Structure 1
Amino acid sequence: MTNWFEQGGRAYARFRPEYPRQLGTYLAELAPEHRVAVDVGCGNGQLTQLLVPYFERVVGLDPSEDQIANAAPGSRIEFQCAAAEELPLADGSANLITAAQAAHWFELPAFYREVRRVGASGAVVALISYGVLKLEASLNERFQRFYREEVGPYWPPERKLVDSGYATIEFPFDEITPPALNIDVEWHLSEFLGYMLTWSAVKRAKDDGNEAVLMAFANEFAALWGNPDRKRPVSWPVNMRIGRL
């Protein structure tokens, strides 16, 4: 029994998928001006960095000091610790307000009040997430069963909002229909299992003493994968709720 999860866990930061560059371009095209963009719940700045080429000032905000410590500031980008419900920006100052893979943790009514306060006339607000990944048919069925049935009970309730692309949440803005976008990578087996190790559900299963289920899946999946050095395509749909103030 190879301990695939322990192997992947040594490089946590490598395994979160990057948003496509087209996403930053699209959001900038929607913004009425390009003075200030703010990315709320920014984590280590994956989406925040995509906005830098288009805006005079980009602000990344996250309540976690650890996440902010791992973000990279620059000449037009800054990071601060702040909650989504108390944005440290002046009234009417932001042309674009984004939240990527984060809005399901917000107290949305308070966040929306802040969006209206800091948003300039015609500002754009974008809630972004990526859905359940897809693999080649030979791997996908086994993965989906693990995701929904075996580790599924360990997901927090908020995960359902991500899986639905935020389709069921209140979104009180003039809505814009976004284009279809995907995150596409090619990964080795260790990269794929390393990504799975970053899931909160996998961590909770381990903490619950159910690591045998994880290991059984990992070794069965490794057999289906074949040569662990073979790269295979992995794809996530990018889901967006986009509106204008």
Structure 2
Amino acid sequence: MTVGCFSEYSHFIKIDLNIKTMKDLFSQHSLLYKQARPNYSIQILKEILQHVPENSFAWDCGAGSGQFTQLLAPYFDHVVATDISDAQLQHAPYFDNVSYQVQAAEQTSIPTQSIDLVTVAQAIHWFDFEAFYLEVKRVLKPQGVVAAIGYGLIQLQDAALNRLIQQLYFETLKDYWDSERRYIDERYQTIPFPFQEKAVPALSLHYQWTAQQLLSYLNTWSALKHYQEQHSDDPLQLISTALKTAPEYLDVTFPVLMRVGTVKK
């Protein structure tokens, strides 16, 4: 499908850039990432859409395998979803009005002042902030909106399992997280955000997961992969053992991280 000035987005394109771009930590395990990562709630999008005056064009940046793109598709005439990982984008769901593009966040072929909403879900902490924000300001329409969305550390209702998750995160993997992870721990409140900020409510994602779903999710952690590259032991062993006697379904929660703004006048 082609729509107006976005006709060039009807196929995949790849651009070589001589600028700092986001780290690609997830291409090698792109299918696992798609299957195991939590889905975003429609409530998150509806909170953002309250501030978006037009619904013609959206840009989902750092789209991965389309976890947030699939929410945008029914609400916009056209969505451009970009990521530096072709492998991730290949696992994204198909929609007539969505074009998936292999492009860096900091420099795209998106036309100037053409976008109503820019979204970044669980990815902005990997970006070159200054370069990305210049690109956002270039492509946004005068009343356009930018939203950075994410989710924090998983929380389990089962106290014993939750302690093991905390131990894994803060102790076992302490030295294996990329430095950018601190922005997640700080709930995106310390990322630069040079926009006129909008008030957003505190939200959470709630699920009932099986033991296998939990283990699959933990296996997507970049720090876990860094650990496994240097050690032969299984950092999930204690959790795996505890899960053998756990209930069939586990109540899990993720705190939602969200910053929403418009270009300052």
2-structure distance, mates of 1:219, 1:172 = 43
CA contact (8 A) 1:146 1:217 kept: no
2-structure distance, mates of 1:72, 1:215 = 31
The partner residue of 1:232 within 239, 247, 250 is 250
The structure-2 alpha-carbon separation of the partners of 1:61 and 1:67, relative to structure 1 and needing over 3 Å to count, comes to: same
2-structure distance, mates of 1:71, 1:222 = 31
The equivalent residue for 1:50 is 71
Asked if residue 81 in structure 1 is aligned to residue 102 in structure 2, the reply is: yes
Asked if residue 115 in structure 1 is aligned to residue 133 in structure 2, the reply is: no
2-structure distance, mates of 1:216, 1:80 = 39
What's the CA shift for 1:217? 2.1
1-structure distance, mates of 2:214, 2:144 = 37
What's the CA shift for 1:150? 1.1
Deviation string for 1:87-107 (max 9, x for gaps)?
221111001001111111111
The amino acid that maps onto 2:110 is L
2-structure distance, mates of 1:19, 1:204 = 26
Deviation string for 1:129-176 (max 9, x for gaps)?
100111112321222122111122211111111121221121110011
Normalised to the residue count of structure 2, the TM-score between the two structures is 0.83
User: What secondary structure sits across from 1:172 in the alignment?
Assistant: coil
Percent identity (aligned): 38
User: What secondary structure sits across from 2:100 in the alignment?
Assistant: strand
CA contact (8 A) 2:215 2:240 kept: no
Contiguous gaps of at least 5 residues in structure 2: 1-28
What's the CA shift for 1:241? 1.2
2-structure distance, mates of 1:198, 1:67 = 13
The equivalent residue for 2:259 is 241
CA contact (8 A) 2:165 2:239 kept: no
The structure-2 alpha-carbon separation of the partners of 1:240 and 1:220, relative to structure 1 and needing over 3 Å to count, comes to: same
What's the CA shift for 1:64? 0.9
1-structure distance, mates of 2:236, 2:134 = 45
2-structure distance, mates of 1:51, 1:81 = 18
The equivalent residue for 2:220 is 198
1-structure distance, mates of 2:219, 2:136 = 33
RMSD: 1.6
Deviation string for 1:60-98 (max 9, x for gaps)?
010111111111232211111110011221111001001
2-structure distance, mates of 1:198, 1:222 = 18
The partner residue of 2:175 within 149, 153, 164 is 153
The amino acid that maps onto 2:222 is S
1-structure distance, mates of 2:242, 2:195 = 43
More contact order relative to length (CA 8 Å, sep ≥ 6): 1
The amino acid that maps onto 2:88 is Q
What's the CA shift for 1:28? 2.1
Structural mapping, 1:132-151, within 5 Å: 132-136=153-157, 137-151=159-173
Structural mapping, 1:19-58, within 5 Å: 19-58=40-79
Deviation string for 1:174-232 (max 9, x for gaps)?
011211221111111111011101111111111111424x1432344325x525xx101
